Structure 1
Amino acid sequence: MDKPVCLINTDSDGKLCVQPAALQVLQQIQQPVVVVAVVGLYRTGKSYLMNHLAGKQTGFALGGTIESKTKGIWMWCVPHPTKTGTTLVLLDTEGLGDVEKGDSKHDTNIFCLAVLLSSTLVYNSSGTIDNRAIEELQYVTELTECIKVKSSDEDVDDSTEFVKFFPSFIWSVRDFTLERKIDGKDATEDEYLEFALKLKPGTSKKITSFNLPRECIQKFFPTRTCFTFPFPTAPEKMSTLESLSPADLSTEFLEVTKRFCKFVFDKSEVKRLKDGHTVTGRVLGNLTKMYVNTISSGAVPCLENAVIAMAQIENVAATQEGLEVYQRGMEKVKCSFPLELEQVSSEHQRLSSKATQAFMARSFKDTDGKHLKVLEVG
């Protein structure tokens, strides 16, 4: 892809919907995908980071005004720069807390989708990681109501399972001007993050409210790191950031940006389903469609159901793929008729084996062999 496309938008009724053009792009990607999503308040420079991950200066819309530029979730698929045979899928999300939009439920859904679809989640904020910044990450406290791990009619809290399936977490602090010191000593970026997430002792309502978002981040995202970015350039040039040359940007800002990109490329894992099955672009497209349809219907996405649904979709397609391999081969055999019965039988066996191999390469969780039997009968 030479530029991003809209993956998820809202329809005329205000409901989230998946864009067919983006699904077509994903359907063509047979490789495993590393999915990096960025979330955060609007106008905090999310798109700039994503453009750098794509290796481009422009692409995702930056905007130079107080308005939120990105709407919905936009996608950019590029070859992974360090993992051969892998596609890097970048998801730039609509800015949270847009005063013009004023729809907290919509923001929660966008945040929830970013968590569900990504293997690395980047949270972008501005200034410092203080109590206000953590309170602005209120969406993390709502995930227990927005995502289920297991399919159950009972209203049970299975959020302790989230850690097995949630993405790794990066907190990107933009326009950071403070010294990173704790108790008078220099602190690393990760130490700074952990200090900000430290819980207060006590059980009062005020302390419980203070601790809740910190507990959720610690519990749901045990793999987390932090990057603190200084101001990239002079304030009067910030509105034209995407057109500035490296010479116009702070060397320290460029150094942190380079470290950030290297970390994402080296540490971000391939996206996997609940059972560890590798997600390809095609599977990611089906997952996106399923999650968006579930949320738009007012239901809660379930990770267990996602695996079951993906298995059904992939196994039906795998059966069809196997049948096509067999049928194409037999058509070529027919062109060689007449043949001895022994030769036809030998070709049948060879093509049946090839069909089974094609099926096995795509199928997953066909534990009872139901779909393989369909292929063998077919």
Structure 2
Amino acid sequence: MEAPVCLIESRPQGKLAVRQEALQVLAGVTQPVVVVAIAGLYRTGKSYLMNRLAGRSRGFPLGSTIQSETKGIWMWCRPHPRKAGHTLVLLDTEGLGDTDNDNEQKDTWIFSLAVLLSSILVYNSTGTIDSYALQRLHYVTELTKHIRVKAEQAGSSREEGQDRPKFVRFFPDFVWAVRDFTLQLMADGKPITEDQYLERALTVPAGSRGKANEVKQCIRDFFPSLKCFTFSWPASGNSLAQLEHLQEQELDSDFRESARRFCNHIWDNTRPMTLLGGQQVTGAALGHLAQMYVDSINRGAVPCIGNAVEALAKIENAAAAKEALACYTERMEQRVRLPTETLRELLELHAQCEREALAVFTGRAFKDDEATFQKQLIAELVARKEEFCRRNEEASLGRCRAALAEASGELERKLSRGSYSVPGGYQRFLDNQKKMKQKYWKVPGKGLKADEVLEDFLTAKEAVAGLILQADQTLTQKEKEMAAERARAKAAKQQQKIAEQLNAEMQQELEALERSKEEHIQRIKKRLEKEKKALMEELQREMDQKLKEHARLMEEEREEEAKQLNQKIREIKEEMSNSKWNTAVDAASTIASIGACFIPGGLFTRLGISLAAWGIGRLLRK
């Protein structure tokens, strides 16, 4: 994108709307996204900082008046400067506390959406981190009312804030950008780092109350990591009004250094946006999430992360199955040249294309807990393979019949003229039939039906051959009987050969199905292991945050609060233990259900009935 577009439009009466133009852009982003959202009071330079992250001096509009330039949430997708195969999505939000905005609820929803749609949240403020600045960030204390992790169960009551302990698993990293900072980073006569400055500013004294302390505790509890950057004035005097037009060397050197460190931190350390279960978010998925969260807000409901993920999983899994099926069909059409000489050749090509299709599916699908979409995909792949097998047989039959018509032309003409109804005609018939078979076998590319088509032809000529044999006056009755017996034996041998071929083809396909089933099971195991690992990482993030908070409380000798926190730590450990057990049970159940998808009904229809009706039936009639 050469320029930003509006992602979420702020409309009158407090309504929000996702812009279709932005959704179309996101739909084309199939890479994982690193989403950086910035929030803060209006007219504090948020847009300029985001332009630097984009590697541009211009992009998000800057304002030089008292009016806010950004309304709603604007989006700019850029190639990630440090992570190959990723897209950097920058979200510039409407300034909080705009005096032109008479709907404070809208500010809360904009802030909540910035949290929900990002992998790192930058909060931009000016001056210092003091009690006044913290009180202006009161939106963070409202998140317990405006975001839910899991949906309510039917018949269960819900207490406000019950999801609060789980926020740290799913919330973005938090960076506080302090602009126009003029103080010296000193404490107790010693220099301190920006992160230490933030740590001191967020310290909650024992027994303290008040809005600012509530904000401090929420920031500590909700966000998995905290980082701080301080910026001096970027320029002086009237130059500030023309900031986007200034050359890099015209900016304050301290500001340039702070901006360099800030951008490097964002580019190097920000993780791709992930969902519950560790699934990385693509641009298309980000668009779906934005639409679902905004729809919830406009309905007067509270956006629920769990509900959004479940709904997104269905959308993405259905799309993943469709994409995988299209991949399989396209590659089979490209690689298969019908007819194949053997069934094994076709099955090997099928296996290759199926593996590639499954890689497409597993690369995009997630939370397919009961393998619903994977089982549907398996059934579709089996059906497509059966269709290719049917087409392969039809192509072989057509090629063989054409080759046979060409090879048997002379034989048919002599039969119609009665050329064999003469003394010695039977032997001449056999000689011509042999030449016909030799000519037939020389035709290349007949495929797997070559024996069957020839045998059908020879069978159809058995009655004619018998009449020629009986009419041949040069043979004695004994010789005729011996010749007839040899013909029957030869026909029986050919039929046995075809029956064995059909049986071998059935066995090959059954073995291919078994290999395919094992591959599906292995992929399910890998997916479940990946999701289990992601779940453990989510729980571990919450555990680490609680342990860090516990260590701080113990250092400050706040033993009663530390004791209460210990109970939460024990609950997380128990949840981690239960999750491991539940994941193992779910895996076993899912894997067991996969086997039924491989019952080869089409195989028995196409090969089994053919073997029974053609091979065994023919032998019985003989």
Q: Does TM-score exceed 0.5, indicating one fold?
A: yes
Q: How big is the shift at 1:55?
A: 0.5
Q: How big is the shift at 1:376?
A: 2.2
Aligned in 2, Cα 1:201/1:81: closer, same or farther, shift over 3 Å?
Answer: same
Aligned partner of 1:8: which letter?
I
Show CA shifts across 1:267-312 (max 9, x none).
Answer: 1111111211111112111111111111121111112222211210
Q: How big is the shift at 1:235?
A: 2.8
Equivalent position of 2:65 in the other structure? 65
* Candidates 323, 326, 333, aligned match of 1:324: 326
Equivalent position of 1:8 in the other structure? 8
Q: Aligned equivalents of 2:354 and 2:306: distance in 1? A: 33
Q: Aligned equivalents of 2:234 and 2:303: distance in 1? A: 39
Aligned in 2, Cα 1:235/1:103: closer, same or farther, shift over 3 Å?
Answer: farther
Aligned in 2, Cα 1:330/1:13: closer, same or farther, shift over 3 Å?
Answer: farther
Equivalent position of 1:150 in the other structure? 150
Aligned to 2:249, the other structure's residue is in SS state helix
Q: Aligned equivalents of 1:179 and 1:333: distance in 2? A: 69
Equivalent position of 2:211 in the other structure? 209
Q: 1:15, 1:296 within 8 Å by CA — same for their partners in 2?
A: yes
Equivalent position of 2:605 in the other structure? none
Q: 2:168, 2:224 within 8 Å by CA — same for their partners in 1?
A: yes
Equivalent position of 1:33 in the other structure? 33
Equivalent position of 1:176 in the other structure? 181
Count of matched residue positions in the alignment of Structure 1 and Structure 2: 374
Q: How big is the shift at 1:30?
A: 1.4
Does 2:180 align with 1:163? no
More helix by share: 2
Q: 2:324, 2:358 within 8 Å by CA — same for their partners in 1?
A: yes
Show CA shifts across 1:158-188 (max 9, x none).
Answer: 1101011111111111111122222333221
Using CA pairs below 8 Å that are at least 6 residues apart, which structure has the higher relative contact order?
Answer: 1
Aligned partner of 1:171: which letter?
W
Does 2:162 align with 1:136? no
Q: Aligned equivalents of 1:306 and 1:135: distance in 2? A: 31
The equivalences for 1:1-378 within 5 A come to 1-11=1-11, 13-153=13-153, 154-156=157-159, 157-202=162-207, 207-332=209-334, 336-339=337-340, 342=343, 344-378=346-380
Q: How big is the shift at 1:256?
A: 0.7
Q: Aligned equivalents of 1:291 and 1:322: distance in 2? A: 28
Aligned to 1:125, the other structure's residue is in SS state strand
Q: How big is the shift at 1:352?
A: 3.6
Q: Aligned equivalents of 1:350 and 1:264: distance in 2? A: 41
Aligned to 2:227, the other structure's residue is in SS state strand
Q: 2:169, 2:224 within 8 Å by CA — same for their partners in 1?
A: no
- Aligned-CA RMSD value: 1.8
Q: Aligned equivalents of 2:98 and 2:247: distance in 1? A: 29
Q: 1:39, 1:124 within 8 Å by CA — same for their partners in 2?
A: yes
Q: Aligned equivalents of 1:175 and 1:5: distance in 2? A: 28
Q: 2:175, 2:227 within 8 Å by CA — same for their partners in 1?
A: yes
Q: 1:141, 1:212 within 8 Å by CA — same for their partners in 2?
A: yes
Aligned partner of 2:196: which letter?
E
Q: 2:7, 2:75 within 8 Å by CA — same for their partners in 1?
A: yes
Aligned partner of 1:34: which letter?
V
Show CA shifts across 1:45-74 (max 9, x none).
Answer: 000100000000000001110100011111
> Which deviates more from structure 2 when the two are superposed, residues 216-225 or residues 32-41?
216-225
Q: How big is the shift at 1:367?
A: 2.2
Show CA shifts across 1:23-50 (max 9, x none).
Answer: 1111111111111110000000000100
Aligned in 2, Cα 1:83/1:330: closer, same or farther, shift over 3 Å?
Answer: closer
Q: Aligned equivalents of 2:276 and 2:9: distance in 1? A: 26
Q: 1:126, 1:175 within 8 Å by CA — same for their partners in 2?
A: yes
Structure 1 unpaired stretches of 5+: none
Aligned partner of 2:376: which letter?
V
Structure index of larger Rg? 2
> What TM-score comes out, normalization by structure 1 length?
0.94
Aligned in 2, Cα 1:33/1:66: closer, same or farther, shift over 3 Å?
Answer: same
Aligned partner of 1:113: which letter?
L
Any runs of at least 4 consecutive aligned residues in structure 1 with deviations exceeding 6 A, and if so which? none
> Which deviates more from structure 2 when the two are superposed, residues 301-310 or residues 56-65?
301-310
Aligned in 2, Cα 1:103/1:333: closer, same or farther, shift over 3 Å?
Answer: same
Q: 1:315, 1:362 within 8 Å by CA — same for their partners in 2?
A: yes
Q: 2:51, 2:60 within 8 Å by CA — same for their partners in 1?
A: yes
Aligned in 2, Cα 1:83/1:350: closer, same or farther, shift over 3 Å?
Answer: closer
Q: 2:134, 2:212 within 8 Å by CA — same for their partners in 1?
A: no
Aligned in 2, Cα 1:288/1:258: closer, same or farther, shift over 3 Å?
Answer: same
Q: Aligned equivalents of 1:73 and 1:277: distance in 2? A: 24
Show CA shifts across 1:81-114 (max 9, x none).
Answer: 1111111111111100000113211000000000
Q: 1:117, 1:284 within 8 Å by CA — same for their partners in 2?
A: yes
Aligned partner of 1:89: which letter?
V
Q: How big is the shift at 1:323?
A: 2.0
Q: How big is the shift at 1:151?
A: 1.6
Q: 1:275, 1:307 within 8 Å by CA — same for their partners in 2?
A: no
Q: 2:16, 2:298 within 8 Å by CA — same for their partners in 1?
A: yes
Aligned to 1:69, the other structure's residue is in SS state coil
Aligned to 2:47, the other structure's residue is in SS state helix
Q: How big is the shift at 1:349?
A: 4.5
Q: 1:124, 1:171 within 8 Å by CA — same for their partners in 2?
A: yes
Aligned to 1:6, the other structure's residue is in SS state strand
Aligned in 2, Cα 1:377/1:180: closer, same or farther, shift over 3 Å?
Answer: same
Aligned in 2, Cα 1:106/1:333: closer, same or farther, shift over 3 Å?
Answer: same
Aligned to 1:289, the other structure's residue is in SS state helix
Q: Aligned equivalents of 2:212 and 2:144: distance in 1? A: 18
Q: 1:47, 1:92 within 8 Å by CA — same for their partners in 2?
A: yes
Aligned partner of 2:68: which letter?
S
Q: How big is the shift at 1:10?
A: 2.5
Q: Aligned equivalents of 1:100 and 1:11: distance in 2? A: 13
Q: Aligned equivalents of 1:6 and 1:61: distance in 2? A: 12
Aligned partner of 1:356: which letter?
L
More strand by share: 1
Q: How big is the shift at 1:333?
A: 7.1
